Amino acid sequence: MKQLNLLVTPTLLLISLLYLGCKDKTPTKTTLTPVNTQLEQRVDSVLALMHLNEKIGQLVQYNGRWDATGPSANKSDQYKLEKLKKGEVGSMLNITSVATTRETQKIVMEHSRLKIPLIFAYDVIHGYKTIFPIPLGESASWDLDIIQQSAAIAAKETAASGIHWTFAPMIDISRDARWGRIMEGAGEDTYLNSVIGVARIKGFQGEDLSLPHTIAACAKHFAGYGLAESGREYNTVNIGEHELHNAILPPFKAAANAGVATFMNAFNEIDGIPATGHKVLQRDLLKGNWNWNGFVVSDWGSIAEMQVHGYAEDKKQAAELALNAGSDMDMESFSYEGFLETLVNEGKVSIAHIDDAVRRVLRVKFELGLFDDPYKYCDETREKNDIYTTEHLEIARDVAKKSIVLLKNDSKLLPISKTVKSIAVIGPLADSKDEPLGNWRAKGEYNSAVSLLEGIKNAVSPSTKIYYEKGVALTIPTVKPGDNQFSHPLKFNNTDTWGIHAALEAAKKADIVVLAVGEDAYQSGEGRSQTNISFFGRQQDLIDAVYKVNKNVVVVLMNGRPMDLSAINDKIPSILECWFLGSESGHAIADVVFGDYNPSGKLPVSFPRHVGQEPLYYNHKNTGRPYNSKIVTYSGYTDTAKTALYPFGYGLSYTRFDYHNLSLNTSEISKDGKINLTVEVTNTGDVDGEEVIQLYIRDIAASVTRPIKELKGFKKIKFEAGETKTIAFTIDAEMLQFYTANKIWEVEPGTFHVWVGGDSATTLKSEFKVTE
């Protein structure tokens, strides 16, 4: 042991001997393994020495925006300081530097009785200082390797800054573009969320959680948070049991199987029970049936909020309900520290439940290696050398370009030649160096991104003339540099059109226009729900005016949610969905615009024709009256089609891929049998490209109705120009099972349809039967 040897007290000496006598020599894996007896002995040796107040303290998490290096007149700071000295705090969040984490850890290690180290947490959602595409955008890459790589780099930078734990990934199924937090996940599909969530967990946690460049991950929000009514943040969730098990829970089960260190519960209620107090979900399913051994942290203040929900009479009852339901750590509601001791003495909370929660927290701290060295993450050299490096920026550029989705490319306007005579770069987001960072940007520095204008200037030949005009301002500035995403409401500029005339003059002179429009970075994210998902401010006026004087327009979208593009889709020839791509945004967009990279992104979420379609998702139910164009009494709309403008899985390339010869090696299998499926895919164009080959399945008749189509597998493969490849999938019981009317996961016999193609609207289909 390193630091512990320097702090010798009789109690600490006993703890040290217990730790050293049963030190675990095996690495901590990120997959479920049999119980590690030596690790459990170490955990129990600490637990046996703890008083009740110290146990409860391990279940308390404080916000750390304070000065740990000197005295403070703030009463809240003084209160937290005293609690730290008593060893009555288990974790702190929002402490973000080696100096501050070290000083805060020292308070505990030098003053508390048992000297149990703190675990420091922070919202590292899509990068720490090197910022990657927002998670929804990165998910559009459908590239699990680069998603894992970006999480690993985020972990490396986070760990180098003294932080042990991130509140990511968000693996909520998100079907409603109005919900601002849709930007933080992987979209609408259960399978895609599952595999991307696991990739991010592996990136954060690596193969050995005790290594200094890894951090603990957190699967959130458990559960149903993304299905809030009307897309309104924190709203009620009403879903049935089968939808919960078949659509919402599988990504969380995958996260548990991958050994994610922590879970976070959700703000919402499910069928009248707040998720924070949901015993069936947390204690019975997660910790019981799934046999998961990490700990559950509440979302900010969500334990106390059960009183506001009308589920608890007061904070005392809220603490009782949450702890008994399996919520282990209280983030900033002060309910556990205020009432758990009384509740134990009154017999309303068992000491067994307290011990279980504490054991889970201690286990993660041991796995991180904090008991061996509480200061192992406090290395100024790493903090100086491992953050925002040239290597990290190069990888961020690679991830960003692979996240771009080509939505439209009429007349092959893209890619643009680098020797084009002139380009007009227009729009409120064209020269922004801040919007591309998106929301939840951790320590991304204000104005640090490469702008689209910079990217284009760096890419074209010296002879190309570039005209730049902003055209309109999207927002009236109210957020100051350094403010967090909750600081101010956005104020949109709905009147100022002063720059449109100059933009038109630039468009008239140019051979081609690159028009950067979309959203403010803070239009999406937590608390950013909207009823309007089209272009805010005077952007539509700018688009219409520019198109009148120059038809060669490439729209570059920067946004955090699916947008209503109906007003531009029929006329604008080329549309690139670029999301908020992070630090290297401008370079990555230029890579695609000028053809250095052939776009390969696919939508992880459906784009609507109108906000009135929301929530919109491809894997809906058929209903008893599916679409019929000849009558009005069907499940549709009288004023627009019910289909997506751009469906889930959609994305174009600078080449074309044709699918043919879909073949199954058998047309009938038993419930535990397998089918080998092959399909031929040909790159029929004259440039190399990557394609995401997608496999969809439908169970035609079942004990509970099934979606019309569900993604069950995909492969991202590169093809040379003119090349044909035979792609193989294996269909097995894992693909065919679901949570049935028997309330178990099983395969039911019957007829199944299977599709393979480049998006969820593919029509290349076959069928097979499953027998008893």
The catalytically annotated residue of 143, 176, 299, 591 is 299
CA–CA separation, 689 and 681 (whole Å): 12
The alpha carbon dihedral of 231, 237, 238, 243 has a sign of: positive
CA–CA separation, 693 and 656 (whole Å): 13
Provide the β-strand partners of residue 406: 576, 652
CA–CA separation, 396 and 400 (whole Å): 6
- 262 in helix, strand or coil? strand
Give CA separation, 253 vs 138, 198, 200, 682, in Å: 22, 10, 15, 36
CB distance 379 to 221 below 8 Å: no
CA–CA separation, 318 and 306 (whole Å): 6
Which H helix or E strand runs over 218? strand 218-222
AA letter at 186: A
CB distance 60 to 336 below 8 Å: yes
Q: At what angle do helices 539-549 and 500-509 cross, to 10 degrees?
A: 30
> 15-21, long-range: CB within 8 Å, 24+ apart, which pairs?
15/45, 15/46, 15/49, 15/114, 15/115, 18/42, 18/45, 18/46, 19/45, 19/371, 19/372
CA–CA separation, 140 and 135 (whole Å): 9
Residue for token pair 């990120």: 30
Question: What radius of gyration, in Å, describes the C-alpha atoms of the chain?
Answer: 27
CB distance 694 to 665 below 8 Å: no
User: What token pair was written down for 383?
Assistant: 């903090």
User: What token pair was written down for 448?
Assistant: 């640090």
Angle among Cα 195, 133, 207 to the nearest 5 degrees reads 45
SS (H, E, C) 181-212: HHHHCCCCCHHHHHHHHHHHHHHHHCCCCCCC
Of 733, 761, 759, give the one whose Cα is nearest residue 747. Answer: 733
| 675 φ/ψ angles, rounded to the nearest 5 degrees | -120, 135
Q: Are strands 91-93 and 60-63 parallel, antiparallel or unpaired?
A: parallel
Residue for token pair 């260190």: 261
Residue 175 C-alpha from the chain's centroid: 14
| 2 φ/ψ angles, rounded to the nearest 5 degrees | -95, -80
Backbone region of residue 650 per phi and psi (left: phi > 0; alpha: psi in -120 to 50; beta: other values): beta
CA–CA separation, 274 and 321 (whole Å): 10
Q: How many residues does the chain have?
A: 772
Residue 359 C-alpha from the chain's centroid: 28
CB neighbours of 395 closer than 8 A, spacing ≥ 6? 146, 149, 150, 153
Residue for token pair 């998490």: 61
Of 485, 433, 441, 345, give the one whose Cα is nearest residue 126. Answer: 441
CA–CA separation, 659 and 665 (whole Å): 18
Q: How many CB atoms lie within 10 A of CB 555?
A: 26
Angle among Cα 115, 376, 38 to the nearest 5 degrees reads 65
Residue for token pair 């309910």: 335
Q: Is 299 a catalytic residue?
A: yes
User: What token pair was written down for 534?
Assistant: 């089209």
Residues belonging to the active site: 299
